[in-house]
Chain A
Amino acid sequence: MISERILILGNSAAAIAAVNAIRARGGKQAIAMVSNEPCTAYSPVLTTYYLRGEIPESALYFCDIGYYREHDVSCHFGTAVIALDAAAQRVTLDDGTRLDYDKLLIATGASAKRVTGLDPEIAAEVRYLRTVADARRIREAALGAKHIVMMGGGLVSLQVAGAVARPDLKVTCVVASRQILSQNVDATCAALVCGHVERSANIEVLFGASVAEITRSGGGYRVCLDSGAELQADVLAAGKGVSPNIEFVDRAQIAVDQGILVDEHLRTTFGNVWAAGDVAQGRNRVSGEVELVANWIDACEQGTAAGANMAGEALAFPGSVAENITTLFGVQVAALGITRSREGDGLREVTYLDEARGVYRRLLLRGEVMVGATLLRDVADVGVLRGAIAAGREPWPSAKAAAKGHVRYTGLFKAALTGR
């Protein structure tokens, strides 16, 4: 008997989690995997550690070639998917290979959004950080550089800036909004982080600024801002968020909004096609909206659920949670659930600030339940808070106490132990 053929597009968090879930269930399906990168699976999360010189490149890879052998996966690495015909159950790769499948998982993740409005030749020279190849390129570019202009002030932009800045290499971050990390944290938290940034590294942040034009000048670039100010740079970099890798998806076959739409079983609108990770758009557990949530933990969890479902077990995915924890310039920052409150959203905020210790914590509540948390420096209870936010539980014993200290327990524990 010919075994069922599972094809997985992508070779990162979601894809590997799916393989693990399928094999953990004893599945004997023939699994094939495609990745446009030539290497075994690595984590984009670790690229900033590599850029900072904290780990060697070899430490980025979380699967070696033996992994694919042990899990009986046939690999098509170094070739991109260029077309998917879901009706014909066939994928075409850029080297002409055609792969037929019975079940398909799309886990092609996301790419760095490109800056628009620049001269195409100059635009092609802007550095982004997503892949290990990107990390190598940034490292090389920074070697002889004196001034880097970074477009963007988000997590990745700041991590890159922090990694490459040296006493003899200045990074200027051109940030459109009035604060850094505008997608992740509130203005107070951002201002505290920004203080660290400017104190601890050769980094300057320009707020409310955007690039009008970039021209060549000497061996480098002249960057003209909307304000009329001009900057001289020898390397250009940008971090403007990510967009899902879905170019090969035929929208007439598979429903796409910003990402590939998935139901609670990570199934797309086409029966035998699933999607997981940064490429998928499903329900956000906290906001209730169907929206893109792109983070490593979510990709792992979605990949696990998709793999289980593809292996025939009906495993519902409870929904995504926006979450991030990172160290910026020596300070821990965590953002969970809803972290940006808007006028009229009915959310209540409870904050705690200890300037001497540099600790800032902010909880957002809808009624009695927690819907978001922003933690600066004091992050020891991040898991408990995330658990309560994901489950829609109350802080305990009170929101004020929870904001102030570690949440030693939340309503989640209470419910489990007392049944209330």
Chain B
Amino acid sequence: MAKVLMIHPDKCTGCRNCELACSFEHEGQFRPGASRVQAYTWEREGMSVPMMCQQCDDAACVTVCPTGAMHRSTTRANLVDWDESTCIRCKMCTIACPFGNARYDAASSAIFKCDTCQGAPECVAFCPNGALEFVDDEQQVRSRKKAYAAKFKEAFQEVS
């Protein structure tokens, strides 16, 4: 069965191990700026949450990509994939994602987005707190993810 990344904000301590694991896996260096997952911390509220590409069904980055480099994978379910060779680095996708989950990295001239490490996410393996999980894409998981996305959507449109 296809798997999806699940976030448990209640368990995240903001230690940023996920960022280190991710950047090492993808770039061979411990550089949080090169990580596809970002652990956000609100100090005053005392809360943290790891964020990465949600592989949206209706992904804005895919809609706006003028070359088709950002596309829904045909070989793997639940993956929005970035094709380095057809990408022209116009950075439209990086504007389109309001959560910053597709970012342009000038140092490597690449678009950084979560690719779930081809099905074996390092962030999950290295999170000491169980705040990240890679689980079967079952109905229950889907609806939790949907509720989470809806919350963001609501906040996004609140003032519009």
Contacts and interface: CB of A to CB of B under 8 A. Distances in A.
A46 B160 contact: no
Contact of A409 (B40, B90, B151): B40
A386 B106 contact: no
Nearest to A396: B42
Contacts of A391: 98, 155-160
Given A59-B86, A387-B99, A325 B91 contact: yes
Interface in A283-327: 285, 296-297, 300-301, 304, 318-319, 323, 325-327
B94 interface: yes
Nearest to B97: A383
A300 B45 CA distance: 37
B160 A318 contact: yes
Interface residues of A, number: 53
Contacts of B66: 13, 43, 45-46, 62, 296
Interface string B11-31: 000000000000000000000
B92 interface: yes
B33 to A, nearest CB: 7
Interface string B95-114: 11111111111100000000
B91 to A, nearest CB: 5
Given A59-B86, A416-B151, A382 B91 contact: yes
Contacts of A382: 91, 94-95, 104
Query: What's the dominant secondary structure at chain B's contact region?
Result: mixed
Contacts of A332: 91, 104, 106
A412 interface: yes
Q: Which 8 interchain pairs have the tightest Cβ spacing?
A: A387-B98, A392-B159, A43-B66, A384-B100, A415-B155, A416-B155, A318-B160, A383-B97
A295 to B, nearest CB: 9
B38 interface: yes
Contacts of B129: none
Given A46-B88, A380-B104, A390-B156, A417 B47 contact: yes
A383 B101 contact: yes
Most buried by A among B45, B66, B97: B66
Contacts of A118: none
B91 A384 contact: no
Interface of B: 9, 33, 38, 40, 42-43, 45, 47, 49, 51, 60, 63-64, 66-68, 86, 88-92, 94-106, 151-152, 154-160
Given A49-B88, A296-B66, A380-B105, 12 more contacts: A43-B66, A46-B90, A297-B96, A323-B95, A325-B92, A379-B104, A379-B106, A382-B91, A382-B95, A391-B158, A416-B151, A417-B42
A121 B22 CA distance: 61
Nearest to A380: B103
Contacts of A132: none
A383 B96 contact: yes
Most buried by A among B33, B89, B91, B155: B155
Given A54-B88, A387-B99, A414-B45, A304 B160 contact: no
A211 interface: no
Nearest to B153: A416
Interface in A23-59: 43, 45-46, 49, 54-55, 59
A381 B100 contact: yes
A383 B98 contact: yes
Contacts of A416: 151-152, 154-156
Contacts of A59: 67, 86, 88
Contacts of B40: 408-409, 413
A404 B102 CA distance: 20
Contact of A300 (B63, B86, B105, B154): B63
Given A325-B92, A325-B94, A383 B100 contact: yes
Nearest to A325: B91
A323 B92 CA distance: 10
Contact of A412 (B42, B67, B102, B156): B156
A182 to B, nearest CB: 22
Contacts of B102: 383
A289 B77 CA distance: 42
B91 A55 contact: no
A267 interface: no
Nearest to A324: B95
A414 B151 CA distance: 11
Contacts of B49: 413, 417
Contacts of B42: 409, 414, 417-418
B90 A45 contact: yes
A11 to B, nearest CB: 14
Contact of B99 (A304, A325, A384, A393): A384
Contacts of B101: 383
Interface string A8-21: 00000100010010
A334 interface: yes
B149 to A, nearest CB: 10
Given A62-B68, A391-B156, A296 B38 contact: no
A418 B100 CA distance: 19
28 contacts: A43-B67, A49-B90, A55-B88, A59-B86, A296-B64, A296-B66, A296-B92, A301-B60, A301-B63, A325-B92, A379-B91, A379-B94, A380-B94, A380-B105, A381-B100, A382-B91, A382-B104, A383-B103, A384-B99, A386-B98, A387-B98, A390-B98, A391-B156, A391-B157, A391-B160, A415-B158, A416-B155, A418-B47
